[in-house]
Amino acid sequence: MAPNNFADRLIEAIEDKNNPAIVGLDPDFSKIPDFLKKKHSNNHGKTFESVALTIFDFNSQIIEAVKRIVPAVKLQAAFFEQYGRWGVWAMEETAKAAAAAKLVVIIDGKRNDIGNTSQAYADGFLGKVDVFGEKKRSIDADALTVNAYLGSDSVASFTKVCKENGSGIFVLVKTSNPSSSELQDLEVNGKKVYEIMAENVNKWGQEVIGERGYSSVGAVVGATFPEQAKALRKLMPKSIFLVPGYGAQGGRADDVVPCFNEDGRGAIVNSSRGIIFAYQNKGNDEKFALFAKEAAEQMKYDLNARLKKAGIHL
């Protein structure tokens, strides 16, 4: 039986695959192979439905290709939601397919608000919603990325659902984009804003620490800022870092080492474009899933080799 604490489940999945690398499903329609687009547009026309079916087909084949290699997938909500109700359908079906493949499912939606609105986000993505008096899951997600700029009361709804449903959140702390320093690196009372956020994440996560010693309240810490990651690792010793920015955004295996604890735990490293669109450098779009598999295997090898060199063993 799977553990009912998100952090415990994620660590178990990492150990099962011996791999801290995860695949980001960012289905940019313009980059999906043309033969898949034609397959669905021939049957359903050039419609939103065809786009959604194409995206789901693409994602399903990626999931099948990497399910024995990686512990988790991260769905970037924007690439689905831009297509309205059909895009949301594709996201829901992709999450179901990933869950059926026994992968941990993370929705990268960067949600939050206050009061009953934040509760609605928490229930919708991570808990259960009211369906004529009966509580039901609306999406098969294990975790959600959260923007905590609104403060502690906005996060309380999520931590409550995490505790009740065994879900998890990853709070934006130090993001991978170049301009993140415009706000996140400002000093307030002698501390950087990202350091203050990290202290809050550490505090918010205390009530959802699992048997493996890690909290279900994790942190988003970009691979593009390795020096800051060192300090953040000390400020959030029990939080699992979700590390974007690897590969296409410039982050390397060397850069992610500071995100890990000495026990080899504490981080998952995401690559999206570098894996799912690896076929673009190979000249054969019909083998896109095979090339994604090979890229995922290479990332696993590179990360494990670099961690081992640093004296960190999974």
Active-site residue list: 110
Half-sphere exposure of 176 (CA within 13 A, CB side): 23
Strands 239-243 vs 267-271: parallel, antiparallel or unpaired:
parallel
β-sheet bridge partners, residue 218 = 170
Listed in sequence order, the residues at least 6 apart from 103 whose beta carbon sits closer than 8 Å to its beta carbon are 13, 63, 67, 70, 71, 72, 73
Euclidean distance between CA atoms 197 and 219, whole angstroms: 10
Which residue has 């509580």 as its token pair?
135
Q: Is the separation of the CB atoms in 232 and 260 below 8 Å? A: no
Decide: 112 and 150 in contact? Cβ < 8 Å: yes
Residue 30 CB neighbours (<10 A): 5
What the block records as the tokens of 59 is 């994602």
- Among all chains, which residue has been given the structure tokens 């890229």? 295
**DSSP H/E element including 153:** helix 152-165
**103 exposed, middle or buried (CB, 10 Å; 0-12, 13-18, 19+)?**
buried
Token look-up 């993001």 returns: 175
